[in-house]
Amino acid sequence: MLDETGGLDEALDMAAQHHSPEVVQGIQRGLAESREIEAIVRALDGRYIVPSSGGDLIRNPKSVPTGRNLHGLNPALVPSAYAFDQARKTAELLIARAVEDTGRFPESIGLVLWGTDNLKTDGEAIGQVFALLGVEPLVDDLGRVHDVRLVPLEELGRPRIDVVATASGIFRDIFANHLELLDRAFRLVAEADEPLDRNFVRKHTLAMAAELEIGFEEAAHRVFSNAAGVYGTNVNFAIENRAWTTEDDLARIFQSRKSFVYGRGIAGREAEQLFERALATVDVTFQNVDSLEMGLTDVDHYTEYLGGMTKAVEHIRGGQPAAYVGDFLMPNGKVRSVAEMVALETRTKTLNPRWFEGMLAHGYEGAREIESHVTNTFGWSATCRAVPAWVYDGVAETYALDAEILARLREANPHAAAGLVGRLLEANTRGYWAPAAPVLEQLKAYYLDLEAAAEG
Ligand code: BEZ
Ligand code: MG
């Protein structure tokens, strides 16, 4: 958080928007304390380390000083009141953006649930699902979330939006009780006797039950993840290793990994047909981005989840859903399209000399990081067609056609240099980028040379 905002002053300014001056001073004191080394030495001695709740510094000022035994969360308090409040705002922003782009209410949103962002935010993404459905968490006298209730349609002021929740294996393991709570929320909404044009969950559930000739209860499943004990979508590995022929392969890989239902005592029953039929209703996909520091081009996991789901919907429906990300760790968070986010990250990182010079200064690993950004960017072509030509033009000009940079990249990490140029060529052969013929010839020549050097 400190890095992405530029420094301590900005972080403290942000804290001041949420907290009293006394609390902000507490954060400042906590940050100034340095207990890490002392605590590690104590731990190695087998001595007691004082515990504390952790998480995002601004949301939980108690997470400093560090050097204590920080624990992730108390699941009974998720989503917190603050998280649900934020989630409601995000849900409305997302719906408004989708309406602006597509001209109508989304009927169903494919939403990715990860462990990390829900840990950091005390369950904002879980709260977003509730908010889209038009339900509220019910809290007992001790502040524990134990159930949900319907927000009346008049109060909601819009239709209940259906959601297909795709949970990571990590989310499934950490938030097991929330899989049940989410499932309860879907059933509550599906069973509400309301007009079908105001309750898309009920509308889709009735249609699915009729079409697939299954019971209403079966058709109300919306919580999907991997089989028990299994993690990840494998879409990222397929992309990295060129282990796919058509984009439909990526969709099928995603579907086969994620088509296991959870909830009502069911812990991962295979339900391929159900998942496919639920995805067929999706017109918008969405995932929260943890922070600008770990964005769409930094890791391959957003591509494997949000990208994979978007491709699966396209494969099933025949048209690409609108794909969005949300960055709400900042008070002025935003919903952006995947294409906007890829463009933003390309300008601020991949093509920014301050970023790549920093990476090159790190030698082998820095060069690998550059190559990895290019591959992750390519992943947004393969899954969402969200990468315009200027991005590939820029990568080619910056890293391959600039002899000095190419030499430094190659010197630092010959595999990364060959990989980067190879990925540009792959973008061309897969139809995502059509550079001028001389550029293409140049890249091919470099590639042969770099490959030979990397092998030798
Ligand atoms: C998560 O659930 O937090 C997660 C899943 C896949 C990759 C990274 C994080
Ligand atoms: Mg990884």
pLDDT tens digits, 302-331: 999 999 999 999 999 999 999 999 987 666
Q: What is the mean pLDDT of residues 352-366?
A: 97
Q: Which of 417, 426, 402 is nearest to 449 (CA)?
A: 417
107 CA to middle of ligand 2, Å?
A: 33
Query: Is residue 120 in contact with ligand 1, taking CB distance under 6 Å?
Result: no
Q: CB–CB of 268/275 below 8 Å?
A: no
Question: Each residue of 100-136: pLDDT tens digit?
Answer: 999 999 999 999 999 988 988 899 999 999 999 999 9
| Integer Cα distance of 245 and 254 in angstroms | 15
Q: CB–CB of 214/220 below 8 Å?
A: no
Q: Taking the CB of residue 366, how many other CB atoms lie within 10 A of it? A: 19
Q: What pLDDT does residue 7 have?
A: 65
pLDDT band at 58 (very low <50, low <70, confident <90, very high): confident
Q: What pLDDT does residue 5 have?
A: 41
115 CA to middle of ligand 1, Å?
A: 6
| Integer Cα distance of 182 and 198 in angstroms | 20
Query: Is residue 175 in contact with ligand 1, taking CB distance under 6 Å?
Result: no
How deeply is 298 buried, as exposed, middle or buried, from its count of CB atoms within 10 A (0-12, 13-18, 19+)?
Answer: buried
Q: How far is CA 230 from CA 227, 249, 268, in A?
A: 5, 20, 10
Q: Of all residues in the chain, what percent carry a pLDDT higher than 70? A: 98
- Confidence (pTM): 0.91
Query: Is residue 171 in contact with ligand 1, taking CB distance under 6 Å?
Result: yes
Query: Is residue 442 in contact with ligand 1, taking CB distance under 6 Å?
Result: no
Query: Is residue 72 in contact with ligand 1, taking CB distance under 6 Å?
Result: no
Pocket-testing residue among 111, 114, 231, ligand 1, by greatest number of atoms within 8 A of Cβ: 114
Q: Taking the CB of residue 245, how many other CB atoms lie within 10 A of it? A: 8
Among 107-116, 279-288, 320-329, 359-368, the range scoring the smallest mean pLDDT is 320-329
293 CA to middle of ligand 2, Å?
A: 15
Pocket-testing residue among 168, 299, 303, ligand 1, by greatest number of atoms within 8 A of Cβ: 168
Q: CB–CB of 252/260 below 8 Å?
A: no
306 CA to middle of ligand 1, Å?
A: 12
Q: How far is CA 182 from CA 93, 171, 185, in A?
A: 21, 13, 5
101 CA to middle of ligand 1, Å?
A: 29
Q: What pLDDT does residue 2 have?
A: 42
| 153 has pLDDT over 50 | yes
